[in-house]
């Protein structure tokens, strides 16, 4: 699988959200990463399904990262109805991981499972999501420093899930860390501040994609 870059709109200018997304789309992005925070699982509040509604007609793949407690109770259905294509939940956020992954698929979406930096990978020996997300920062904020120990964790994750599952990394991805992640086995990289925090988001997208491809 060729590496893909999923720009996170968490660092975008929300006053010009569709224009910002248009910039990375013109640069070749096909996936947009939507970071949803509930003020409980992580301290900040971020965005709700209305943001997916506002972007869905652009025809991009909307990947929703639910950093929320008990996502199965309300958020999965709401985001699926708002146009999400992939929904990612955290292993730490629900005791009903297998149920929640099935629920996501029943709503016609790809099912992703995320683990925080301190969470062991053993859950991936028990359940088979379509996408495995290895957090490379503690979730909650954009612009944090990449946790270097994650590289070895990505290697172990690839050995567990095999070649066909998408391995995504999220947090601190830039032109320096992208190639390392891909070399370790990741094939989808989220980047927020390294794209939308830059003057030229399209150029930044290209640079990270090139750096990721060199790690291949
Ligand atoms: C962190 C979010 C990330 C974040 C990444 O809690 O899940 O998706 O937007 O931001 P950067 O790329 O700036 O680390
Ligand atoms: Zn995210």
pLDDT of residue 1: 77
Instruction: Identify whether 170 is a catalytic site residue.
Output: yes
* Closest ligand to Cα 138: 1
The ligand 1 atom nearest the CA atom of 33: 8
pTM tops 0.85, yes or no: yes
CA of 162 to the centre of ligand 1 (A): 25
In short, whether 173's Cβ falls inside 6 Å of ligand 1 is yes
Q: What is the CA radius of gyration of the chain?
A: 16
How far apart, in whole angstroms, are the C-alpha atoms of residue 156 and residue 125?
Answer: 12
Q: Which residues neighbour 126 within 8 Å (Cβ) at sequence distance 6 or greater? A: 98
The ligand 1 atom nearest the CA atom of 143: 13
In short, whether 38's Cβ falls inside 6 Å of ligand 1 is no
The ligand 1 atom nearest the CA atom of 10: 9
CA of 214 to the centre of ligand 2 (A): 23
According to DSSP, residue 57 is labeled G
How far apart, in whole angstroms, are the C-alpha atoms of residue 63 and residue 35?
Answer: 9
In short, whether 31's Cβ falls inside 6 Å of ligand 1 is no
Write out residues in the chain with pLDDT < 50, as ranges. none
pLDDT of residue 215: 78
- Region class of 59: left (phi > 0), else alpha (psi between -120 and 50), else beta: left
In short, whether 171's Cβ falls inside 6 Å of ligand 1 is yes
In this structure, the number of other CB atoms found within 10 A of the CB of residue 175 comes to 16
Domains and CATH numbers, the chain: 4-8+11-213 (3.20.20.70)
CA of 163 to the centre of ligand 2 (A): 23
Residues 175 and 194: beta-carbon distance below 8 Å: yes
pLDDT of residue 216: 67
Burial string for 2-29 (b: 16+ CB within 10 Å, else e) reads ebbbbbbbbbbeeeebeebbbbbbebeb
């Amino acid at each position: 699988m060729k590496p893909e870059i999923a720009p996170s709109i968490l660092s975008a200018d929300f006053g010009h959200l569709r224009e910002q997304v248009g910039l990375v789309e013109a640069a070749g992005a096909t996936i947009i990463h939507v970071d949803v925070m509930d003020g409980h699982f992580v301290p900040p509040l971020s965005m709700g399904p209305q943001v997916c509604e506002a972007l869905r007609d652009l025809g991009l793949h909307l990947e929703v990262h639910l950093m929320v407690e008990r996502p199965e109770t309300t958020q999965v259905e709401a985001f699926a109805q708002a146009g999400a294509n992939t929904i990612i939940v955290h292993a730490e956020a629900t005791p009903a991981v297998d149920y929640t992954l099935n629920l996501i698929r029943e709503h016609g979406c790809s099912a992703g499972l995320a683990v925080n930096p301190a969470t062991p990978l053993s859950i991936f020996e028990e359940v088979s999501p379509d996408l495995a997300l290895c957090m490379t920062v503690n979730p909650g904020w954009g612009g944090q420093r990449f946790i270097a120990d994650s590289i070895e964790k990505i290697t172990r994750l690839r050995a567990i899930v095999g070649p066909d599952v998408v391995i995504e990394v999220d947090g601190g991805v830039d032109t320096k860390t992208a190639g390392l992640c891909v070399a370790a086995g990741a094939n989808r990289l989220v980047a927020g501040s390294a794209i939308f925090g830059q003057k030229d988001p399209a150029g930044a997208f290209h640079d990270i994609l090139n750096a990721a491809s060199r790690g291949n």
